[in-house]
Amino acid sequence: MNQSRAPGDERASPCPPATHSIRLEINGTAHTLDVAPWTTLLDLLREHLDLTGTKKGCDHGQCGACTVLVDGRRINACLSLAIMQHGASITTIEGLADGDTLHPLQRAFVEHDAFQCGYCTPGQICSAVGLIDEGHVQTRDDIRELMSGNICRCGAYPNIVAAIEQVMAAARDGTPS
């Protein structure tokens, strides 16, 4: 960061440190990290921690490829500053499986062929985890509406909706999906 000041610069604050130390839990592991204020959560995950499962699509909150769970809630990591997540618990696509056992949504996406190129898939699955946890779905149309923040350029939407429906039905019936 350039800390020099032009003549006449009347900003009152003293020169800040370029980085701040933050603590985060990511997929169950505690991290202490030095981050610049302008680092997004998405860039922190991908560039600093090599957690490249979370994808950068539009980088403007319009496609949902970067969807992760922060304290259990789905958000767009591209529009979130990492420094503002100090103390939070983050779950990415890498944190959903239990060892070699896939998360029910991961299994359902495979069974329903709910992707083609796969680029949007980590965001779709993290978003679907949040969707189910939020508990506002009554109908198939509700799934479509509440998943509208996740764009799939390959057009796998019918199969994505079917995969989510299967997991929700299994949870309702108490049967393993």
Partner 1 sequence: MNNFSYTRVSDVASAVREVAADSTAKFIAGGTNLVDLMKENVARPGRLIDITQLPLNRIQGTEDGGLRLGALVRNADTAYDETVRARYPLLSKAILAGASAQLRNMATNGGNLMQRTRCYYFYDTATPCNKRKPGAGCSAIYGFNRIHAILGASDQCIATHPSDMCVALAALEASVQVQSSEGQRQIPFAKFHRLPGDTPQIDNTLQPYEIITAIDLPPRGFAENYCYLKLRDRASYAFALVSVAAALEMDGDCIGTARLALGGVAHKPWRASDAEEILNGKPATLENFKQAAAAVVRHAKSYGENDFKIELAQNVIVRALQLAVSMEQPA
Q: Where on the chain is the footprint of partner 1 (CB under 8 A)?
A: 1-2, 10-13, 16, 18, 20, 36-38, 40, 59-61, 64, 67, 73-76, 79-81, 83-84, 86, 127, 130-131, 134, 136, 144-150
Q: Across the strands, what pairs with 68?
A: 75
- Provide the minimum distance between the beta carbon of 57 and partner 1 in the complex, in angstroms, as a whole number: 13
Pairing mode, strands 89-91 and 73-76: unpaired
Can you tell me whether residue 132 is helix, strand or coil?
Answer: helix
- What does the alpha-carbon distance between residue 149 and residue 156 come to, in Å, rounded to a whole number? 14
Query: Do 81 and 40 touch, CB atoms closer than 8 A?
Result: yes
- Provide the minimum distance between the beta carbon of 101 and partner 1 in the complex, in angstroms, as a whole number: 27
- Cα 127 to chain centroid, rounded: 7
Angle at 95 between CA 89 and CA 96, to 5 degrees: 115
- What does the alpha-carbon distance between residue 108 and residue 154 come to, in Å, rounded to a whole number? 18
Angle at 74 between CA 38 and CA 51, to 5 degrees: 60
Nearer to partner 1, 48 or 144 (CB): 144
- Provide the minimum distance between the beta carbon of 80 and partner 1 in the complex, in angstroms, as a whole number: 6
Nearer to partner 1, 113 or 141 (CB): 141
- Provide the minimum distance between the beta carbon of 110 and partner 1 in the complex, in angstroms, as a whole number: 24
Nearer to partner 1, 27 or 127 (CB): 127
Provide the token pair at 68: 């992760």
Nearer to partner 1, 147 or 163 (CB): 147
Nearer to partner 1, 116 or 157 (CB): 157
- Provide the minimum distance between the beta carbon of 23 and partner 1 in the complex, in angstroms, as a whole number: 13
